[in-house]
Amino acid sequence: MNKYIVSQNKSYKKELEMSGLWSPKLQKDGKTNYSYDLMTELNPGDIVYHVVNGRIMAKSLVETPALSRNKPIDLDGNQELWNQEGWFVKLITQALSVPINVKDIWNELLPDRPEKYSAFKADGSGVQRYLSPCPDKWGEIIDANIAENDRLNEVVNESVVEIETDISLNVTGISEEQRLMSDESNKKTGDAAEELVVNHYKDQLPDKQAELVERVSLGSGKNAGHGIGYDVRAYEKMENGSYEPVYVEVKGSNSDRTDFYITKNELKRAGEIGEQYRIARVTNVGSEDDVQIEIIGGFQKNDSIKEILDTHFSKYEPTNYNVTLSDYGTLN
């Protein structure tokens, strides 16, 4: 997982109420801003530390990637400080029972202060930037201080988004036994399919955006594997000419069959992300000439799993079940 520091002097209470972070996409003068662009790099499972007036007030777990959302009402006290179009990242937040004064631990943090885009100046005072990367060492030091004051880490860490495997859905699929037997082969096919999708997007983008396309499934810790509900963060050109992130779940096959497995977690993520969610179906992976990539969009925010299945798939069936034992048939 990656860690970040957000400075929220003006917006902390409001963003705490809405359980998330919000930033504009561009500055008022229309220029890009490193901090706002950084919002698009947050992934589920990342950690955010909240700093208000030089004190670390809360710790959060990222629940969704950056979603395109207009500015929440009254976020800036009707002062029109920011543009309407922005990014929203949903969080699971726990306020610290005892806030940490950054200057009290600055001697520990200073040796690992980044040369560029640090959240704090050399004297430990804050810089005027909304979101900044948090070095891993800083995260360790902050967490150690949190642990001395309360049990926050247990509360937040137990809330980490788990990989949901209680229901897998397949469109005219093979048996579960056959699927399990081919797991190793499927992983190789899946890795190759993700690389094909990354290159597919990069080939269509200017260099600046192409450099940002990446396989988030290669992350560490809670970002490793497929538990966050998508595999690739890419960019697409919008009607207004801007480039915005899309979150792509990749489904690969070394044959030309069009059915695939999709988990409950992936379907839930499609409903959470909505218009920015994509499914890439890659067939004939491993063939030099016959590879086909189909990008599926059209998802709507807050769609239920059933609405997604009925709208986007001609047939589906559950192949796994989450069960609880009853007393019937128990031998001991």
Amino acid 224: pLDDT: 47
Check which CATH number belongs to the domain holding 58 and give it.
3.10.590.10
Considering 157, 178, 195, which residue would you say is the last residue of a domain? Answer: 157
Which percentage of the chain shows pLDDT scores above 70? 84
Per-residue pLDDT, 221: 44
pLDDT tens, position by position, 137-181 = 999 999 999 887 765 445 555 555 443 434 445 544 445 555 455
Mean pLDDT in residue range 183-191: 79
- The answer to whether residue 314 is domain-embedded is yes
Residue 69 lies in a domain: yes
Residue 114 scores a pLDDT above 90? yes
Q: Tens of pLDDT along 315-324? A: 888 888 778 8
Average pLDDT score over residue span 267-278 = 93
The 3-state DSSP class for residue 122 equals coil
Q: Taking the model in full, what pTM does it have?
A: 0.77
Query: Do residues 301 and 180 share a domain?
Result: yes
Please calculate the CA angle 209-248-207 and round it to the nearest 5 degrees: 10
- Same domain? 9 vs 136: yes
Give a yes or no: residue 332 inside a domain.
no
> In the chain, how many domains are there?
2
Q: Check pLDDT > 50 for residue 223.
A: no
| pLDDT averaged over every residue in the chain | 85
Task: Order across the sheet with 317-318: list the strands.
Answer: 261-263, 168-170, 317-318
Domain assignment of residue 323, yes or no: no
The pLDDT, as a whole number, for residue 326 is 76
Phi, psi of 223 (to 5 degrees): -90, -5
Identify the pLDDT of residue 150.
Answer: 61
Whether residue 177 is found in the same domain as residue 128: no
Q: Are residues 152 and 176 in the same domain?
A: no
Cα–Cα dist 284/290, whole Å: 6
Average pLDDT on 257-280 reads 91
Residues 302 and 222 in one domain: yes
Residue 286 and residue 225 share a domain: yes
Could you list the residue range(s) of the whole structural domain that residue 147 is in? Answer: 3-157
